[in-house]
Chain A
């Protein structure tokens, strides 16, 4: 038989020094390349780049609030229909440095609109996702843990709510209310539908986790249910919950943008969706005012892509198998 590699040339004469074997060896160094060098799951490039984009957006918003006059987002504060610097509009006007990203047809400065509108759009998502997620955690844990009739009812509720295209109900509500609503009301309305998906998701996670050995051990040894939930299950559920939260946020922003595109959002201080709605109403496509609808569209797209990246990253953090597949 060939010599066993890994002895490392270290003479071990004394049998009692068995622990010296635990010292790290130099074998296998060539193969470590097949692993992610950053084995810490949080150092996932998708998660990091998504979070990075988000951080950068907020940094820009912060800078904008410091150095730009946000009152320019109000109608009539600026000249109309100006193109961004370096471009000309259909009237052959050159862009001017006072309005680097141009203006729209009621005299709002595009840069100021973005600085004001972007956090409003994201804010709707945060509020709606938080409320929906809170309800989802509560209901999901109840269903998964209490079981029985409670589980049946909650499961039925989610099954009924999930296929409902929520945008349509929101349209009915908005048009019945007949008055412009503020951002928070809109977010709360959206959250009426954003609890069902996380509830379903958390319930199934709780159920499968309940079957797992360590939770059953804890139950057998008489640990109170509440402690099992918070101490044993929550930490393991966290990446799933985070991914679910981000998915929820994406959904909520999508709903909000949908309502705004229909002209049903708060319009006095426009968010990104409302800005696009105005541009469509004013036939900006025909007039080739691409900066009006294009810039907010790109920003929204970047926000959505960042959210997706974070979500995918969290998925890989929660499920090591996906990580390995890269």
Chain B
């Protein structure tokens, strides 16, 4: 495999600060995203992982201002190129969408309007942001170029979504997502509904297009193996909290948070058959999270202190942050012991 290009720029294109999203239910609010903060650099690919229900998709939809009721954003700040997304008026937001932030959706199967031709669904996004295109020939060429970028044949130009395969639909979504060269593209489980081979091809297409067009990308997924190959940095979420964020090599080689360790451990390996360490999902009531550390109920290393205080993000090495009390300097001894048990179970 060729050397992956990593981002060079230190310019922040997207910064999420203290974002909190709740879902209202009759029994009280479910905390889907709990005060998370992170930054995305220009040209970078950031992976957002975690088990189902950890809030990764909700985070994405929150950034896009698309949280569906009964969900709502409690507080936070989302800045794209210094534009505060949460303060945009309705019409400003409409114009900002797809030029500032675009989405490659989760269920590509149903994400295309079944009664519109593929071309019309790409044209409508172009025309609603750039006005009526009078040069139809140029418009067609532009769409063919997009098709070429994602490896789609020109013949699908006039087709309806139901005439395309799942992989093709997903590529149409990718072509659509980059059509206006947005600042940030968010791919929400863009490959989950596809079979393994197509998954890989689509993921590679995604990276290729991203590099060609030069956008910044957030990839949301749960397949650690697939993500490892396409992202620069990984953010790990658990129950609405961001527990660890680091360059991809660090996460795989040296996972710091006990949850990340479990996740990495759960990647299946052909060489050895090992029992799954993660045996249950998020166990606490999401309306009423435990005090202190969110992970302490499942954490093998938890002790009294974990219930008393919420761990702040500790900057362990360059660009490697982890929210776990083990990395507090005053608990160094405990950390050494914990890592020792991890090495010799």
Q: Which A residues are within 8 Å of any B CB, using their own CB?
A: 1-8, 10-13, 15, 18, 21-29, 31-32, 34-35, 39
Contact = CB atoms under 8 A, between A and B. Distances in A.
B26 interface: yes
A8 B307 CA distance: 13
Interface stretch (B55-63, B95-103, B265-273, B296-304): B296-304
B31 A24 contact: no
Contacts of A10: 291
B284 interface: yes
Interface residues of B, number: 37
A27 B74 CA distance: 13
Contact of B29 (A11, A23, A27): A27
Interface in B82-141: none
Contacts of B288: 6, 8, 21-25, 27
B26 A35 contact: yes
A18 B284 CA distance: 8
A167 B25 CA distance: 49
In this complex, which of B24, B37, B291 has the most chain A Cβ atoms within 10 angstroms of its Cβ?
B291
A39 B27 CA distance: 11
A27 B290 contact: no
Main secondary structure of the interface of A (DSSP, over half): loop
Interface of B: 18, 22, 24-29, 31, 34-35, 37, 69-70, 72, 241, 283-285, 287-292, 294, 296-297, 302-304, 307-308, 310, 312-313, 323
A4 to B, nearest CB: 6
A28 B289 CA distance: 13
A4 B26 contact: no
A34 B297 CA distance: 32
A300 B313 CA distance: 70
Nearest to B30: A28
B18 A2 contact: yes
Nearest to B284: A21
A21 B289 contact: yes
Nearest to B29: A28
A43 to B, nearest CB: 13
A22 B285 contact: yes
A31 B68 CA distance: 15
